[in-house]
Amino acid sequence: MNYYLAIIPFLGAVEAGLFGQLPYEIEILPPEEQKDDFCYSVKDCWSRMPKLMDDWKAFFEYLLSTEHNTMNSASFSSFKLDDALGLMWKAHTSSIAYALPKFQDRLKYISDPEASFGDDWANAVDFIGATHFSTDFPTTNSFQVFLPQRMLVEGDVLPSISDFSPEQNNVLVSMRALHKGNKLTGGLLLKLWQKAMSTEAGRKMGRKLIESLASS
């Protein structure tokens, strides 16, 4: 999964020209096993997952287009954080949506509670991303305390995992309920949330709701 959240963005940045005109083609060395689960160059990835590459390229192209204008203070306003976050989250959730089905069969190698948490988190990211949630270091750092500090193991039962804080237990319970609700409605819950988050005012309210749920 992390390959699609690290290497694919990197190759998207290469294609967007973030590193300038490189005199050589970048190619990632393949693993010894499961080689077909991954792609290894811009051309290879583009042939396998064009939409995903498009999404990451669009994000980095936006950053580059606004960077070129920062030399002119009057043009600095061309960069809008909300727009940048929207493109970033679109690409991020696309990476998860593409990779998650590919690796469902690997979940058997981890505990059932950890596998369930992984699915719950992937679902929650769709809701979080729709708010264009800020991913700067202070915000990310402050919210990570509400997530597990270790992998879940057999015997971990919500909402009473003894070495997790009450807030961590509550967040995991909320994510489980959100995932179940979204599945029961056939994804309608997410669609309604995305519609509510279609304006800047709506996204601001959505972020405040997430903050209040996490800290309650």
For the stretch 23-59, what's the b/e string if a residue is b when 16 or more beta carbons lie within 10 angstroms of its beta carbon? eeeeeeeeeeeeeeebbbebeebbeebeebbebbbeb
Amino acid at 154: E
In the structure encoding, which two tokens stand for residue 51, read together?
A: 């939409």
Predicted pLDDT at 69: 54
Q: Give me the pLDDT at residue 78, please.
A: 74
Separation between Cα atoms, residue 117 and residue 175, nearest integer Å: 8
Do 47 and 62 form a contact (C-beta atoms < 8 A)?
no
Would you give per-residue pLDDT tens digits along the chain (216 residues)?
Answer: 899 999 999 999 999 999 999 999 999 999 988 899 999 999 999 999 999 999 999 999 999 998 755 555 554 457 899 999 999 999 999 999 999 999 888 888 999 999 999 999 999 999 999 999 999 999 999 999 999 999 999 999 999 999 999 999 999 999 999 999 999 999 999 999 999 999 999 999 999 999 888 776
Q: Sign of dihedral through CA atoms 98, 52, 18, 23?
A: positive
Residue 167 and residue 191: Cα distance in Å, rounded?
27
Written as six digits, the tokens of 196 are 């509510």
Distance CA 48, CA 63 (A): 25
Q: What is the DSSP string of 160-194?
A: --TTS-HHHHHHHHHHHHHHHHHHHTTTHHHHHHH
Angle (deg, nearest 10), helices 200-215 and 188-196: 120
Q: According to the model, what pLDDT value does residue 131 have? A: 98
Closest CA to 95 of 129, 62, 61, 66: 129
Q: What is the pTM of this model?
A: 0.90
Task: Check residue 71 and give its pLDDT.
Answer: 54
Whole-number pLDDT of residue 33: 86
Q: What is the pLDDT of residue 211?
A: 87
